[in-house]
Structure 1
Amino acid sequence: MLVNTADEDGNYVDLGGEFPLEENEHFNNLLVNTQQSNIQVPTNVYNKDPYILNAIYNSEALNDVFIGNFQKDPTLTWQYFGSSTGFFRIYPGIKWTPDSNGVVAFDCRNRNWYIQAATSPKDIIIMVDISGSMKGLKMTIAKHTINTILDTLGENDFVNVIAYTDYVRYVEPCFKGTLVQADLDNREHFKILVDELHVKGEAKIKKAMKESFKILNEARANGQGSMCNQAIMLITDGAMEDFESVFEEFNWPERRVRVFTYLIGREMTFAQNTKWIACNNKGYYTHISTLADVQENVMEYLHVLSRPMVINHDHDIIWTEAYMDTVLFATKAQSLLLMTSVAMPVFSKKKETLSHGILLGVVGSDIPLMEVMKLAPRYMVGPAHVHKPRPGTRVNVLCFTGAAAGSLPCSRAEHWYLFHDLECPHRPPHMWLSCF
């Protein structure tokens, strides 16, 4: 946002500077700089933090890699690196346009490609305290925390939301005792219901915790949900009960379910209890005292869930479902219409930190579906069988291309150099497309 921005005296502002931009037909006539990538930092991240500046400096080598990739394959579009610290390096470089409030709210860590690459699929139960002590600003912060957690979930994840006082209440009674896919429709439905929550009564955490463990344990036993990571997100202003017996019965000693705790409000009286819950269940404790604290604190759970994957050097390549990038770009033309993103995690290989499982970020590239379809001749695309839907129902048409061995190759072999240096397999992953 600061590039090519000058002050009243005509001098370029700090962290700005001259950045040549010109229209490029390949990028739908958007103003870009194909000789250099540039950096975007979310509004809620301090752009002069030494830790951020050092991470940006360490990522500068990607600039030559991006340029080299584009020279090898001119069909490539956006290439980028999303850092776990929050900054976003994109090639070709662009000038970011602020919204009506004068800010750029884009945070790469909320993007589907980042979340899918940074963590494995997961089952999440969100427990929110709606007792009388949560009234006012605390409840506002709690609702925003729930919405932010929901925004970190994707179609490979499963979720449910429980509100509790002295009894357990499912925010959506139809989802009682089960997990539902965290697709866009269900996430938005939960947000609407969470906004309608009101405080009353006294908090009894044991009942809600038992119910949450039962849901997750039954899903695992019945082969339902993601069959991967499982976690409980506890959002409260304090935990006063003797809750150790619940963990002894349902989660110890295996600790298959991680428990993340979010202490809401400025009061620290019960901080030790909420820390104990998280630390004894392989989770993470955070204190959220203001609305501005929500985003950064919620993102911590993704780093924790990524640790086993990083330590084991699992860096599977992911493909997102087809989408239109209306968040990053303002118009359909600029968004290159429907696209899919291919991405993979980047982790620290330093010997002194390798055992800590430090995720550095996610690297990826966007691939327009029109480029994919060029590699899938129409005669190879099987017939689509769609039953007549009810009015108002969204229909997803799955397009598959078949190969002799039954695989689904949808990526050029020559694109594979994008990830060659990251020790990936020597052939492209298989993928399927959800075409809306």
Structure 2
Amino acid sequence: PKKHNTQEGRIHRIRPDFKEDPSFKNRLISYNHSAVHIPTDIYDGSTIVLNELNWTEALEDVFKKNREEDPTLLWQVFGSATGLARYYPASPWKDARKTPSKIDLYDVRRRPWYVQGAASPKDMLILVDASGSVSGLTLKLIRTSVSEMLETLSDDDYVNVVNFNTRVNNTACFDHLVQANVRNKKILKDGVQNITAKGITNYTKGFEFAFKQLSDPNVTRANCNKIIMLFTDGGEERAQEIFSRYNPEKKVRIFTFSVGQHNYDTGPIQWMACANKGYFYEIPSIGAIRINTQEYLDVLGRPMVLADAKQVQWTNVYLDALELGLVITGTLPVFNKTSSEDGSRKQLILGVMGVDVSLDDIKRLTPRFTIGPNGYYFAIDPNGYVLLHPNLQPKNPKFQEPVTLDFLDAELENDIKVQIRTMMIDRVPGNKTIDTLVKTQDERYIDRGVRTYTWAPVNGTDYRSAAFSCTLEKFEENGYTFIAPREYCQDLKITSNNTQFLMDFNQYIDKRTPSDPMCKYIQYIILPFNLIIKNVKGVLARFVATDGGITRVYPKSGGEEWTENAETFDSSFYKRSLDNDIYIFTAPYLNSKPPVHMFYLVYSSTRKCVCVCHVDCVILDDGGFLLMSNQEEYITQVRGLTLTPELHSSLSKRICRDAEEDDVVDGKQFFSLFFPLKMTCILYFSLTSIEISFPYLVLLTKYTFVGFFSAYSEEDTSDAYSKESCITEQTQYFFENDNRSFQGVLDCGNCSRMYRAEKLPSTNLVFLITDAKSTCLSCDPKPLKQAEQPSIGPDPCMLAQNPRYRKGPDVCFDNNDDVMLLLFSYEYSFTALMSLYVQSVHLLPWLQHRSSFCCCFSFVFDDGQFHFAFIVDQLV
């Protein structure tokens, strides 16, 4: 009968009329219905699920009303503690057009926004029984259980894993609690896999070690909920003396897990949990791991129920499961406020409400084109992670973990930026103008520029911006013109149909003028300018680019083959020209991009260097790239001389800084995500062994941390739960001082070679000439490459010893004397629940409503958890 009813229910399911919606990146959407997702490991015909489907259906009307009040709302989601997720508007969970064979491993209770919204921060010590009795299948279950437990933690939590028998050992290299970020969790999981079972169980030693580590005042912690998770097969010892000594007030909750199928007495570990405000769970097989390792969140949520917590929490940046891209989510927990027959409150957290805010929408609200090409806006959270930054640009991301890119990793770290980060986290407004190193848009060069940082907490503060404009007198009609695809008029949208767009534009200009407030950017492209046409021998083409997004190329034939980005704010050559008062030459790309080009002029790079055959002649740019040579080999292969470690023999200074870790990138080739991170080692080299002049600054840079989350493709699902790590580093060069020339002799052991280098005036070029001795090959080095290379990266254990400054949430809902110890029950009052829901849902749409913005570009979140700042390009 149950099977028949289930099939009959599926026949009568509603099939909405879906249409593509550009607001959801052309995903199929229906605003007439909400949709429900149920995890694959939960029976969708169970009484609990059917009950939740029934009473959550009333949310659909609330969702629709919210949408009417604020049409900019995106996904509205309720995640239930049972695993059911109801979201609006409705959309097919699997898009058969894109991923027809996608395996559904989604569980709303494992999503970053649910984890952060369901409970306050935690200090968790995971205690693993490593005695001989757990060997075999039980130990395998423990390893998997601990890994799943770590997945329930967020960046606001702190954790460590230790194993014990007659001795206690740290599972990984951490000797104290560490932040539960992606990389630290990966290291702990690897350590758990190396646990071996031997000896006998000694709970007294294990718990004593755990309590001491939880109470260590000398390390950074969450300073909120304190919990110990014990994974064991059972035992006779109760360790009562330890609990009386270290936990007399029951401030530390203890959760115990009996793992495996065995005949051991579980009474003692049940007593441990009940005597310390925890819970006891059984994990007899792998199928029980997932559900039993996440139910503790419901217990930790009870103090929030008693406190009637209504504080909105905002997540880190993460990838939306329904392909909206990178988002942040505002969340509120939903409680059961009904009372039992004896008058006591049930203290149950029913789930979490969430509303997504797309990073693309936030970017569109920032006046990017009014502060100059080298200016930008960024925002950070209390952990120092950016939620808005130009370098937060993942490529093909497909991951479940939050994207935790620290501000100091997104830029080139220095002491002043450390201070800026600290002040922003402490919500102290300010501004600083600094001389800093800047990586170019194409990541090939390093420039030194002056930048003004202005920051303030996002709670109604006004912001300042800077603008750079260009005014010329005459417009030349000859040549080829490119216009950047910007939203010049906010209420005139660009369409793929040019004819329709022109018709719309003709109607539009009858109503608007360029001075209209809705067309504040149009003035930048109507500015007349003059391009003086002169025939210069060797010049293939010349161009003029403007802040307004106009690029003029002459002659027209040059424009027809032009491949540079029409958006000047995204063009390296344009942005570099503002940081340098010289002619900038750029080396040819290895792909089909243009050859050597200079601001205003484009030269052919095929002309040979006028040098005699017994010398090597090369011209390098300030990034160490070859522009011209009388040799056919590449720069690092021109008789092994140019930019080699041997040539940089007078090493004058070495400065190394640690790199932080929390960039999430998938390690498999299918899913790649790259973030530019901070410059890790700074090496000052001189091109001569005789005098310290004209050195290059070599930056062994850009640790790109990859992966640490479930990575699988549609074609390969056998390793769906694997975690992989990949770190790369990059080497870059730039001129450190203004010395014009130098010369010397390079000693190669059995021979020597003379060389001379001359910096070409008013350019970023160096002319280098050396003896071309074909018999002097002992100096041939291993080629230096700028491309990203595999690296072991910084020592994670050392990083954990000196964590970066952060600040946890201002409010903590932890252990409460009024919290009752009762078994979970999902027998709710429908009327009471819906009343609660309506109250909770109405608190959310407003978080991103336009009326909450303090001005046209500064967004305000009620809890003040995010901080907003921007950088203004300082032209000198």
The bucket for the TM-score relative to the shorter chain is 0.7 to 0.9
Alignment of 1:2-401 (within 5 A): 13=10, 16-97=13-94, 103-173=103-173, 175-176=174-175, 178-219=176-217, 222=218, 224-252=220-248, 254-325=249-320, 328-329=321-322, 335-352=323-340, 355-377=345-367, 381=377, 388=412
Do the aligned residues in 1 keep the contact of 2:338 with 2:346 (CA within 8 Å)?
Answer: no
In structure 2, C-alpha distance between the alignment counterparts of 1:421 and 1:351, rounded to whole Å: 24
Which shifted more, 96-105 or 241-250? 96-105
Distance 1:248 1:81, change over 3 A: same
1:256/1:41 CA distance change after superposition, 3 Å: same
Residues 408 and 43 of structure 1, relative CA distance in 2, 3 Å threshold: same
The structure-2 alpha-carbon separation of the partners of 1:15 and 1:257, relative to structure 1 and needing over 3 Å to count, comes to farther
Report Cα offsets for 1:52-84 as digits up to 9, x if no partner.
Answer: 211221111111111222222222111100000
Q: 1:108 to 1:136 in 2, by over 3 A?
A: same
In structure 1, C-alpha distance between the alignment counterparts of 2:69 and 2:112, rounded to whole Å? 27
Cα 1:12–1:296 change in 2 (3 A) is: closer
Query: How far off is 1:278 after superposition?
Result: 0.2
1:12 Cα deviation from its structure 2 partner: 8.5
Q: Distance in 2 between matches of 1:225 and 1:406?
A: 26
Q: Name the SS for the 1:93 alignment partner.
A: coil
How many Å apart are 1:100 and its aligned residue? 8.9
- Once residues 240 and 48 of structure 1 are traced to their aligned partners in structure 2, the CA distance between those partners, rounded to angstroms, is 41
Counterpart residue number, 2:863: 429
SS class of match (1:342): strand
Q: Following TM superposition, by how much is the alpha carbon of 1:429 offset from its aligned partner in structure 2, in angstroms?
A: 2.3
Provide Cα deviations, 1:18-72, integer angstroms capped at 9, x if missing partner: 2332211111111122211111111221211112211221111111111222222
Q: Is the 8 A contact 2:130 2:163 kept in 1?
A: yes
Distance 1:292 1:409, change over 3 A: same
Q: CA offsets per residue over residues 376-427 of structure 1, 9 Å max, x none?
A: 445694798776469xxxxxx999999899541499xxxxx985458x9998
The 2-side partners of 1:296 and 1:434 are apart by 38
Q: Distance in 2 between matches of 1:144 and 1:434?
A: 40
> Is 1:408–2:458 an aligned residue pair?
yes
Which deviates more, 347-356 or 132-141?
347-356
One-letter amino acid of the counterpart of residue 192, structure 1: D
Task: Tell me, yes or no, if the aligned pair for 1:12 and 1:18 is still in contact at 8 Å.
Answer: no
Q: Which has the higher strand share?
A: 2
What is the deviation of 1:372? Answer: 2.3
Give me the whole-angstrom Cα distance separating, in 2, the residues matched to 1:227 and 1:242: 27
Match of 1:3 in 2: none
Residue aligned with 1:355, SS:
coil
How far the C-alpha of 1:196 sits from its partner, in A, is 2.4
- SS class of match (2:42): coil
Closer, same or farther: CA 223–203 of 1 in aligned 2, 3 Å: closer
Which position in structure 2 is the counterpart of 1:394?
A: none
SS of the equivalent of 1:89 reads: strand
Which residue identity lines up with residue 246 of structure 1 in the other structure? I
Task: Identify if the C-alpha distance between structure 1 residues 38 and 336 changes in structure 2 by more than 3 Å, giving closer, same or farther.
Answer: closer
With the length of structure 1 as denominator, give the TM-score of the two structures: 0.83
By how many angstroms is 1:375 displaced?
Answer: 4.2
Give, as a single letter, the amino acid of the residue that structure 1 aligns with 2:328. Answer: T
The amino acid across from 1:143 in the alignment is: R
Q: Distance in 2 between matches of 1:182 and 1:403?
A: 29
Per the normalisation by structure 2, the TM-score is 0.43
Matches of 2:145 and 2:123 in 1, distance apart? 17
The answer for the alignment partner of 1:332 in structure 2 is: none
SS in 2 for 1:231: strand
Task: State the shift of 1:146 in Å.
Answer: 0.6
Instruction: Find the aligned partners of 1:370 and 1:102 in 2 and give their Cα distance.
Output: 26
CA distance in 2, matches of 1:64, 1:403: 42
Q: Deviations over 1:138-197 (max 9, x none)?
A: 112111111111111001000000011211110113x11x11000111112211221222
CA RMSD of aligned residues (A): 3.4
Identity of counterpart residues, as a percentage? 32
Measure, in 1, the Cα distance between the counterparts of 2:408 and 2:118.
Answer: 34
Amino acid at match of 2:208: K
1:25/1:316 CA distance change after superposition, 3 Å: same
- Give 2:324's aligned amino acid: L
Amino acid at match of 1:369: L
**SS state at 2:354 partner:** strand
Give me the whole-angstrom Cα distance separating, in 2, the residues matched to 1:127 and 1:275.
15
Alpha-carbon separation, structure 1, partners of 2:316 and 2:335: 24
| Ranges in structure 2 where 5+ consecutive residues have no aligned partner | 1-6, 380-406, 415-420, 431-454, 462-838, 853-860, 870-876
How far apart, CA to CA, are the structure 2 residues paired with 1:20 and 1:402? Answer: 50
Q: Is the 8 A contact 2:125 2:229 kept in 1?
A: yes
Which runs of no fewer than 5 residues in structure 1 stay unpaired?
A: 1-6, 330-334, 391-396, 412-416
For 1:302, the aligned partner's letter is L
- Check conservation: 2:312, 2:862, Cα contact below 8 A: no
Greater Cα shift, 59-68 or 195-204: 195-204
In 1, Cα distance between equivalents of 2:100 and 2:171: 33
**Contact 1:117-1:316 within 8 A present in 2 as well:** no
> Cα 1:194–1:309, aligned 2, differ >3 Å: closer, same or farther?
same
Distance 1:410 1:265 in 2: 55
Question: How many residue pairs end up in the alignment?
Answer: 403
Deviation per residue, 1:291-321 (Å, 9 max, x gap): 1101111122101111111112113211011
**Distance in 2 between the 1:300 and 1:29 partners?**
36
Q: Deviations over 1:196-230 (max 9, x none)?
A: 222222221211110100011224xx583011100
Partner residue in 1 for 2:564: none
Question: Whose Rg is larger?
Answer: 2
Q: 1:433 to 1:152 in 2, by over 3 A?
A: farther
